[in-house]
Copies of this chain bind each other. A is one copy, B any other.
Amino acid sequence: MWTRRRVTLRPYPRGFHLITREVLAALPELGQVQTGLLHVFIQHTSASLTVSENASPDVRRDFERYFNHAVPDGWAPFEHTLEGDDDMAAHIKASVLGSSLSLPVGGGRLTLGTWQGVYLCEHRDQGGARSLVLTLQGE
């Protein structure tokens, strides 16, 4: 069984955001999958996806603090500067965190750990509405 769906998220501000519910809401078919995988892909090079702690908002703020420090906007050696100070840094952050997630499905639900959630990592100041491609497969 294969299902593919394109989802457009509402625009999020720069930072890290829990989107587990939005992803699940787009795929009611997941409830019928006994064993499978959900693939989530973001069609952009300046935003990314990761799995991390789903409870404390301060964790998500610390992600933003850390990545702004590790990959500074407008880092002096950057050559690709035409699209703004946040652009090249966003490309690098996006590749470090990754453009897709594969999540196990069991018994009609994501078999995440208790504290795990799906994050949208928005690396641009004005990223706009981001598009995801969801691909669900299983039996």
A59 contact from B70, B75, B80, Cβ within 8 A: B80
The residues of B that contact A24 with a CB separation of less than 8 Å are none
A32 within 8 A of B: no
Bound-state Cα–Cα, A96 to B95, Å: 9
- A101-139 CB contact bits vs B (8 Å, 1 = yes)? 111101000011111100100000000000101010111
A41 within 8 A of B: yes
Number of copies: 3
Bound-state Cα–Cα, A14 to B10, Å: 39
Q: Are B4 and A53 in contact (CB under 8 A)?
A: no
- A33-50 CB contact bits vs B (8 Å, 1 = yes)? 001110101111100001
Residue among A36, A42, A50, A53 having the largest count of chain B Cβ atoms under 10 Å: A53
Q: Are B43 and A4 in contact (CB under 8 A)?
A: no
The residues of B that contact A94 with a CB separation of less than 8 Å are 52
Question: What are some 26 contacts across the A-B interface (CB < 8 A)?
Answer: A2-B35, A2-B36, A3-B35, A4-B106, A6-B111, A37-B137, A39-B104, A41-B102, A41-B104, A45-B51, A45-B116, A50-B99, A51-B95, A52-B91, A53-B91, A56-B80, A61-B79, A62-B88, A62-B91, A62-B92, A63-B91, A65-B79, A69-B77, A95-B97, A96-B96, A106-B133
